[in-house]
Structure 1
Amino acid sequence: MIPLEVCVDADSPAFTSNLEQLKQADVDRIELCASMHCEGLTPSSSAIIEARSIFNHKELMVMIRPRPGDFCYSKRECEAMMLSIDTAASLGANGVVFGALDETLSLHHKNTAALLNRARRQGLTVTFHRAFDAIINPKKSILPLIDMGVTRVLTSGTPWGSGLGADKGLAMLKKLKSAASGHIELVVGGGVTPENAPFIVSSLLGQNKSLVDNGNNGISLHCFSSVLENGVISNDKLSRLYNSCRALSLETQ
């Protein structure tokens, strides 16, 4: 089955109930963020503790982003991010989510490697977040991320800040999937909804739909606002998205 990851806003008044609903729905992963109005920042220790306590059976990914704005970080900011990685690990996270670019909107190899090594020493998986969509040459940049050992890349296949969703980024997503060759998981996020998820997945799998069930498809889905209703997880929307993922698997049997 196509794995489903849901982003959770630690600042939402419905934080606790949303976590409980996601646990009940048995989603595969959650990405824990604060300040979603800033596209997600590092959550507090108390939020990580609560998320781990409630969502205690599947993967908990923690956002590591010290401030809003661009993804070009100073030495001091990188040091702060490393401490946040340590904190996430100590509080039971399974992985962390970060991205680091340089002033030319290229992958910052040194900062990315340093953060990745810190996470790997803590036994954490690593997702390179949608800073990837701000990179000037994403197809070229996925190869060094594979070489470094990054676990996943979160991408819509559309330029960062464009407002376009993954259903408009299929041409780039197909190129990235081909370049990845199964060596890194593409987490397809940005405008993924219960309505367009089947089209997105079917387009990316092409003639290889049979790969859904053996775990070699190399993609997963990420969503946030599309499963919310007034800030609260909608059981109907979440169920429709989850069931659409499941239906793609059943079609191949």
Structure 2
Amino acid sequence: MMGKNLEICLNADDHINLINNVKTAFKAGASRIELCGAMHLAGLSPTPGEIETAAKALPSNGELLVMVRPIAEHFNVDAALLKTMTSQITRAAQLGATGVVFGAIANNELDVAATAKLVECAQRNQLATTFHRAFDCITNSRSAIKMLTNLGVDRILSNGTHWADNSNVMHGLKQLQSIIADANGQIEIVIGGGVTANNAHILWQLGSEHLISLHAYSGVLNSAGLVDPLLINAILQRSDNEQSKHD
């Protein structure tokens, strides 16, 4: 399994290239797409039309994860926002998503009550769940990992640095090692935030004995903003090389 689960974040606002980008990503070996609108705001919920478009281009074995983040300002979820998010989760399922990506925190700790309701809604709609980089705002990551695992969340997205720092994943290697150790194979750790063909071989090694995947955005785009199969191949090939060393 190691080295095979590559998740590609796609900008849903790029309507002209969306279908081709989805098809190219999977053809080149990606396992999943994370669909986000408003990437200039670090990714918000895409529109129903964008979800439908991406779902139609999905191969039978491909996963389509939909960002559920209605507002950019913060990760606090009040009752009104929770209602919006659960309705977006249900809508995503109806439109062909296989998973959703969300986060809810309060005072730099996991908002257990809101997260539980979001997970429950997703599971009711048979969707996989990823807790996004709101995780990287949480003070006590070990405790959060345990709670997210207990809530039945499938994956946690992190790059090992504080969300507000806007730092490259390579600055978070030590923290990622701790996170992966704390997860102990009970919950998948998705490593993202600066993943490229140049650093993938180091990142794959972090998960040689644990459940991890990589998440790339700009690292798989060419100068025209299109998904480049050669860059995806390079990220996956690095992992294949590492795998052969362990075999």
Superposition TM-score tier, normalisation by shorter sequence: over 0.9
Tell whether the 8 Å contact from 1:23 to 1:54 is kept in structure 2 after alignment. no
Q: Unmatched 5+ residue regions in structure 2?
A: none
Q: Distance in 2 between matches of 1:65 and 1:152?
A: 16
Q: 2:225 aligns with which of 226, 231, 236?
A: 231
Counterpart of 1:113 in structure 2 is 116
Q: CA deviation at 1:250?
A: 2.6
Residue correspondence of structure 1 range 118-133 to structure 2 within 5 A: 118-133=121-136
Q: Which amino acid aligns with 2:75?
A: F
Match of 2:53, SS?
Answer: helix
More moved, 60-69 vs 137-146: 137-146
Distance 1:56 1:42 in 2: 22
Q: Distance in 1 between matches of 2:26 and 2:238?
A: 18
C-alpha offsets along residues 35-61 of structure 1, whole Å, 9 cap, x if unaligned? 111111111111111111112321111
Matched residue type, 1:112:
T
Q: Quote the residue 2:86 is aligned against.
A: 82
Partner of 1:163: 166
Contact 2:26 2:32 in 1 (8 A): no
How big is the alpha-carbon RMSD for the aligned residues of Structure 1 and Structure 2?
A: 1.3
Query: 5 Å matches for 1:89-238?
Result: 89-102=93-106, 104-202=107-205, 204-205=206-207, 209=208, 211=209, 217-229=210-222, 230-238=224-232
Instruction: Give the match's secondary structure for 1:242.
Output: helix
Q: Secondary structure at the match of 2:34?
A: strand
Deviation at 1:163, TM superposition (A): 2.2
Match of 1:28 in 2: 31
Aligned residues: 242
- Please state if 1:5 is matched with 2:7: yes
Question: Secondary structure of the residue that 1:66 maps to in structure 2?
Answer: coil
Instruction: Check the 8 A contact 1:9/1:34 in 2, yes or no.
Output: yes
Q: Deviations over 1:189-234 (max 9, x none)?
A: 01111011111222x14xxx4x4xxxxx310000001111231112
Q: Secondary structure at the match of 2:7?
A: strand
TM-score (norm 2): 0.94
User: In 1, are the aligned partners of 2:7 and 2:215 still within 8 Å (CA)?
Assistant: yes
Alpha-carbon distance between aligned partners in 2 of 1:15 and 1:75, rounded to the nearest angstrom: 33
Unaligned runs of 5+ in 1: 212-216
Q: Give me the whole-angstrom Cα distance separating, in 2, the residues matched to 1:36 and 1:101.
A: 21
Matched letter for residue 6 of structure 2: L
1:232, 1:166 → 2: CA distance? 22
Q: Percent identity?
A: 37
The aligned residue for residue 71 of structure 2 is 67
Poorly superposed stretches of 4+, deviation over 2 Å: 245-253
Whether the 8 Å CA contact 2:169–2:194 is kept in 1: the answer is yes
- CA shift, 1:138, in A, is 1.7
In the aligned structure 2, how far is the partner of 1:110 from the partner of 1:236? Answer: 43
Tell whether the 8 Å contact from 1:227 to 1:233 is kept in structure 2 after alignment. Answer: yes
Provide the residue aligned with 2:241 in structure 1. 247
| Amino acid across the alignment from 1:251 | K
